[in-house]
Every structure is written in structure tokens, then in C-alpha cells.
Amino acid sequence: MKSENELARFGVLPSKRHSGWLEISLRCWIRVLRLFRFELTSKTGLTWSQRWRAWRSGFMSQSWVVYELDRNQPDQYVSDIRQAAHQYRINGFFNPIIGNKLVLSQLLAARGLPHPKVITIVQNGKLIEQEKPFRQGLRKVLEHSLERFPSQVFRPTWCGSGQGVFFLRRKEGSLELNGRPVTLAEVCKLLSGLDRYLATEFVEQADYARSIYPGTTNTLRIMTLWDAARGEAFAAAVTHRFGTSKSGLLDSFHGGRGGISSAVNPATATIGKAVARASSTRMEWLARHPDTGERIEGVEIPGFKACLEGVLDAAGGFSYCPLIGWDVVLTEGGYSIIEANSLPAFTVTQVHTPLLADPRTREVFSRWGMAPRALPD
């Protein structure tokens, strides 16, 4: 009411839109309900008594296994219940800005930050070019885009965890979709049934990552938090994901999709041991990649310092979104921000180190109900 009175002094019409916090609260409760629905179908090998113990601590059975909470301290981890009930509140109405990959690419471009170029947009089965001259007809637009960008990545404008992503490549006059031969007519038929997709250029990863596993683009996940008290962004956690023969064409670790994850020491830019799901009840720690045998532990990431500084600079420009999970590819010439996640999964991070073990992270999360405040000594 006070703000409306102040606006009225200057002849500004008051906003009739409600604050929207009821809408955000409903979204949070829906996320909690989805969490339990997923739990009912989850197969982890835990007994019902073990599951009950996990639920009482705020964790679903999969997290209990991944975090090895039978021997670790649950109160050092952001629980699944707290994450589901409060995470959406952190970025609030700005969640769609970060989550929409088309909007994000335009914001990154406006700030001069490296990211894959958006080539075309798929809307209601039509392919729309992003640069003049604007051609008409799906087939004609696709042919022209492949002449300029022989390797492209198609993904939904709003989705995560690698859902809906596929790769199109023109090689020696023929086409491949996810590594399988395909005709131009087949690609056109596929695209004609899609909506709210975008195609970006494919980013070639640096040699160090390719040598460890060449079958996927192996990305960094840098989780940043905005510390309002200090007026700066900081990296709460850095991990490196690698694909495997079990993960297909993506390096996804979350949800048991077959990828492996390693913690990165920001001070030394070195990669730690990788972790993989050995079974439904056990995690396996690896010094080398399970398929290529290449060493992972101890590898120093070239160009990491510049990459981290660039991401922190980007996070500073998005201070209205205090929590962001940045997916970044190191290249031979620098780095590229593939996407940003306003609702990042914590599994890929907390499998290595509990987020609440760091006092600064705990303090920031506690402001949003994601963690209890640390008791004074």
C-alpha cells in the first residue's frame, strides 16, 4: 500500500496484478507432490524401514543411496523436501527467464558472453531463421542452415536433464541424427511435428575432455549463489560430468542416466575422482574413465580460471536470480555457456560434498528456507 501511495504522487497507475506469491507457493507444493509420486515408483533396493528413515530425514530413497547417508550426516545436505518446497522461491518470477533457453541466449549475447549461436527456432512445425534473408519453407530453411552450420543441436526452449535433445550433422553429403543415417525428408517430417524448439551450433570441446571420453560433450556444472550481504556471486560448487557408454550422447548424471561426475577443485583447477552408480544400492568411485581407461583424477583443466571468472561475472549480471546452475563447455579457445538452470539438481554436486558443509552456502540457503541456520558456537 505504501508503494502505491508513492506511485500515486507521481501520477503512476497502480498495478492490479497480485503479488503472485500464492502462485509460487502452489508451484512449490506441486514439486513436493511430484517428488513423492516419483518415490513411489523408484527402485533403489532399500527396505521399507530404510526408506522410512530416509523420509524422516527429508530425503527420497535415491538420494539416500547417492549421498551414502547411512554413513554420512544428513543435516549437512540440502534435503529433497527442502529443495522441492523452497527452491522455486529463490528466483521466483525470474525462473522462466533463466529456464527459457531462447531468452537466455539473447541475454548472454547482450552481455557479450560466449554461448552457442542460435540458428533457427521451431514453432508449430515451422523452422524460423534468426538472420536475414528470412527464407520460407521448412526444407529450404533447413538446407540453408546446414550449409552454414553442418553440426547442430536441437533442444526444447524449456526443458532440462537433456530431455528432448538431439544432434543433427551433415557429413560428406549425408545426414546423421544422433549418429544414425537419416534423409532430409525424414528430418523435415520430424521437425514438422515439433514446437518450441531451437537449434544451436555444436560446440567442440577441448582436447583434454575429448581424450577422456569422446562420445559426448563433457560439461562443467558451476553452481553460483548471489550473496546479497556481500554484493557478489560465488561458486558454491564445481563439478565435471563425463558421458559413458551407458549415457548415450549426453553426459547426464542426475537420475541415474549413466553419466559420471567428478568434483573440481577451483583453487587448483584439478579434477577429483569420478563417481558412478554401481548398482541400485551402491556408488562406485573411479580414478579412470570406465570405458576409455583415461585418467580423470588429478587432470588439470586448461583455461579453467578464465572460465570461472567469466561465469561469476555472468552470475553478477543475473543477481536477480540468486541460484543458477551453469553448464559450460571448455574449448580450445576458451569456453562456451551451453545453458543455465534456475532449478538445478543438487545430486551431481552433493554426491561429492554436502552443500551445507560450507558456512557461506548454508547462510545463503538459510535465507530461503533451504537450510536451518547454523547454531552459534
β-strands 118-123, 174-177 pairing: unpaired
Contacts of 267-276 with CB under 8 Å at 24 or more apart are 268/300, 269/300, 269/301, 269/304, 269/305, 270/298, 270/299, 270/300, 270/301, 271/240, 271/296, 271/297, 271/298, 271/299, 271/300, 271/301, 272/297, 272/352, 273/297, 274/242, 275/351, 275/352, 276/244
Write the burial class of residue 103 (CB in 10 Å: 0-12 exposed, 13-18 middle, 19+ buried): middle
Q: How confident is the model at residue 160 (pLDDT cuts 50, 70, 90)?
A: low
Q: Are 311 and 339 in contact (CB under 8 A)?
A: no
pLDDT at 42: 80
Q: How confident is the model at residue 19 (pLDDT cuts 50, 70, 90)?
A: low
**Cα angle: 5, vertex 9, 12; to 5 degrees:** 85
pLDDT at 233: 97
Inform me whether the pLDDT recorded for 197 exceeds 60.
yes
Summarised one tens digit per residue, pLDDT across range 103-117 is 999 999 999 999 999
Q: What is the pTM of this model?
A: 0.91
Phi-psi region of 25 (alpha: psi -120 to 50; beta: other; left: phi over 0): alpha
For range 15-38, the mean pLDDT: 82
Neighbouring C-beta atoms of residue 58, cutoff 10 Å: 18
pLDDT at 44: 76
For range 295-304, the mean pLDDT: 97
Alpha helices by DSSP H, listed for the chain, are: 2-9, 21-41, 48-56, 61-66, 80-91, 95-99, 101-110, 138-148, 184-192, 207-212, 304-317, 347-350, 359-366
Q: Are 369 and 356 in contact (CB under 8 A)?
A: no
pLDDT at 46: 84
Give the whole-angstrom CA distance, residue 165 versus residue 340: 15
Write the burial class of residue 31 (CB in 10 Å: 0-12 exposed, 13-18 middle, 19+ buried): middle
Residue with the larger pLDDT of the pair 148 and 16? 148
Share of the chain above pLDDT 70, in %: 94
Name, in order, each residue with C-beta under 8 angstroms of 239's C-beta and a sequence gap of 6 or more: 220, 221, 261, 262, 263, 264, 348, 349, 352
Domains and CATH numbers, the chain: 93-114+206-366 (3.30.470.20), 118-201 (no CATH)
What are residue 177's DSSP bridge partners? 168, 180
Q: How confident is the model at residue 161 (pLDDT cuts 50, 70, 90)?
A: low
Residue with the larger pLDDT of the pair 316 and 375? 316
Q: What is the mean pLDDT of the chain?
A: 90
Summarised one tens digit per residue, pLDDT across range 259-291 is 999 999 999 999 999 999 877 678 899 999 999
Give the whole-angstrom CA distance, residue 104 versus residue 54: 37
Which of 332, 331, 329 has its CA nearest to residue 311? 329
Distance, CA of 62 to chain centre: 19
pLDDT at 332: 94
- The grid cell for 174 is 549425408
For range 124-133, the mean pLDDT: 83
pLDDT at 377: 46
Give the whole-angstrom CA distance, residue 165 versus residue 197: 9
pLDDT at 85: 93
Q: Are 113 and 314 in contact (CB under 8 A)?
A: yes
Inform me whether the pLDDT recorded for 249 exceeds 70.
yes
Q: Are 151 and 201 in contact (CB under 8 A)?
A: yes
| Residue 331, helix vs strand vs coil | strand
Inform me whether the pLDDT recorded for 14 exceeds 90.
no
Summarised one tens digit per residue, pLDDT across range 204-228 is 999 999 999 999 999 999 999 999 9
